Amino acid sequence: MKLAYYPGCTLKTQAKNFEDSAIASFEKLGIELEELKRWNCCGTVYSLTSDDLMHHLAPIRNLIRVKEEGKSKVVTFCSMCYNTLKRSAIRIKNNDEDREKINNFMDREEVKYEGDIEVLHGLEVLKNEVGFDKITKIVGEVHEPPILNGLKIAPYYGCLLLRPDEIGIDDPENPSILEDFIYAIGAEPIDFPYKNECCGAYQTVNEVNIVVDKAYNIINNAQRMGANIIITSCPLCEFNLDKRQKDIKKKYPNFKEIPVVYFTQALAVALGLDPKTYRFDLNYISPQAVLVK
Amino acid sequence: MFRGMKFELESKIKNKFVQKVEELSGENLSACYQCGKCSAGCPSAPFMDILPNQVIRLIQLGMKKELMNSKTIWICASCFTCSVRCPKGVDLAKIMEALRQIQLRQNIDYGKPLNLSKEKIGELPQIALVSNFRKFTA
Ligand code: SF4
Ligand code: SF4
């Protein structure tokens, strides 16, 4: 099965470990991710004001690219891209006046946007198109017991996969898709109350202190509940939880470091793929010792 | 007579501000019954000078200056926790955005986000930079 794939900017650079592990794992699971021939930055945040149609142009242009390639669905892995593309898609689909205005503005586009592209997150594809049962089966065939058997993983959802309700891939308060994913790859999820608490997001640019405190609380909570490692699906969460551990350590000297990886990196390990696809060199705290025995 | 006029004028200005926030956010400010659930769950509340529920109250009272000078509207990280929890369906994240936009649309940036050092730009992922600029620059 082939699926149109929208990488977004960060998966091409700092989060290349997310992209490489995603493409390789999906291939092993029978899904070929076909990167859009043309795409642009989605804008990273969904425009929240009622009148600011201009900022919906970037996400909608990407959906036009999907249409141009004759597809009706597009998959993305970054939680921020997912949230922005999906919310814009819903707004433009449900609002005739906005749709007309935005199409009139993009009069040089050859294809009109009719609100007809479905935006999916990679986790939804794993759950609904591949099926967690099938993943369990393949992971069991690769190694018996599964490579990640006994590993305690903290599922960190963050905000933008779950909120607001209209785009959430699961229950915003009590999600379980990442836990189900963790079981499927043969590891054990830990339950921790900070799993959907905000890491401070873009405040990391000018309010490092706030992010340090938030990330410290999240990580500390996961560790107290017994986690060996944390998984995420957002490059901004990854930066705040992984790379900011350097700053956490400065403020809280007793802090103990813990690796943070993309869910696709854990998947690639569980599937026994070539270690080149893990790209652990891009993780700040090396996951090597914890993930690969 | 003058005092009466002043009051009338003031309330007109206040109404314009309330109207603007309602228009930009698309939210009904009078729906809020001040239960405080938004503030109880807000992960940024410890860093704010005005709590999220107080923000709504201050808008209702037309206290534009206090809100525009507050740190709160810039500390809010648009995490949407309040939006999914409000029992009255008020999307407070949109109200925070409306307040930020009222300042940004006067072409006033928040802080100096564009004055970043080269090292910082090299270290931060693109999504951090782009989202920060989207939220804090005009
Ligand atoms: S949760 Fe809703 S009703 Fe309660 S104070 Fe906040 S905005 Fe008002
Ligand atoms: S969106 Fe803003 S106000 Fe609402 S909970 Fe998150 S940080 Fe607090």
What percentage of chain B exceeds 70 in pLDDT?
90
How far off is chain B from A133, nearest CA to CA, in Å?
A: 31
- Residue B114 Rama label (left phi>0; alpha psi -120 to 50; beta): alpha
- In ligand 1, the atom with minimum distance to the C-alpha of B34 is 5
Interatomic CA distance for residues B130 and A140, integer angstroms: 41
Interatomic CA distance for residues B133 and B110, integer angstroms: 10
Cross-chain CB nearest to B130 (options A44, A52, A198): A44
Q: CB atoms < 10 A from the CB of B103, how many?
A: 18
- How large is the average pLDDT for residues A2-29? 98
Nearest residue (by CA) to ligand 2, atom 8, is B42
Q: Using the predicted structure, report yes or no on whether residue A80 has a pLDDT greater than 70.
A: yes
**pLDDT score recorded for residue B15:** 82
Joined together, the tokens standing for residue A85 give 């593309």
Query: Where does chain A hold its CATH 1.20.1050.140 domain(s)?
Result: 2-122
Interface contact flag, A49 B132, Cβ < 8 Å: no
Chain CA centroid to CA A138, Å: 22
**pLDDT score recorded for residue B112:** 82
C-alpha B99 – ligand 2 centre gap (Å): 13
Q: Using the predicted structure, report yes or no on whether residue A109 has a pLDDT greater than 70.
A: yes
C-alpha A26 – ligand 2 centre gap (Å): 35
Q: Please state the pTM of the whole predicted model.
A: 0.95
Q: List chain B domain ranges.
A: 16-106, 112-138
- What is the full DSSP assignment across A231-293? EES-HHHHIIIIITHHHHHHH-TT-----EEEHHHHHHHHTT--GGGT-GGG-SS--HHHH--
How far off is chain B from A140, nearest CA to CA, in Å?
A: 36
**pLDDT score recorded for residue B13:** 60
- A19-38 confidence digits (pLDDT tens): 999 999 999 999 999 999 99
- B8-54 confidence digits (pLDDT tens): 555 666 589 999 999 999 999 999 999 999 999 999 999 999 999 99
Report which DSSP code applies to A155: E
CATH classification code of B16-106: 1.10.1060.10
**pLDDT score recorded for residue A287:** 98
- Is domain A130-291 classified as CATH 3.40.50.11810? yes
Q: Using the predicted structure, report yes or no on whether residue B7 has a pLDDT greater than 90.
A: no
Cβ contacts of A50-55, under 8 Å, gap ≥ 24 = A50/B23, A50/B24, A50/B25, A50/B26, A51/B23, A51/B24, A52/B101, A53/A98, A53/A101, A53/A102, A53/A105, A55/B134
**pLDDT score recorded for residue B114:** 76
- A127-137 confidence digits (pLDDT tens): 999 999 999 99
Give phi and psi for A121, each to the nearest 5.
-95, 150
- B60-94 confidence digits (pLDDT tens): 999 999 999 999 999 999 999 999 999 999 999 99
Confidence of residue B115 (pLDDT cuts 50, 70, 90): confident
Joined together, the tokens standing for residue A34 give 């076909």
Amino acid identity for residue A159 in this structure: C
- A198-241 confidence digits (pLDDT tens): 999 999 999 999 999 999 999 999 999 999 999 999 999 999 99
Class of domain A2-122: mainly alpha
- A135-152 confidence digits (pLDDT tens): 999 999 999 999 999 999
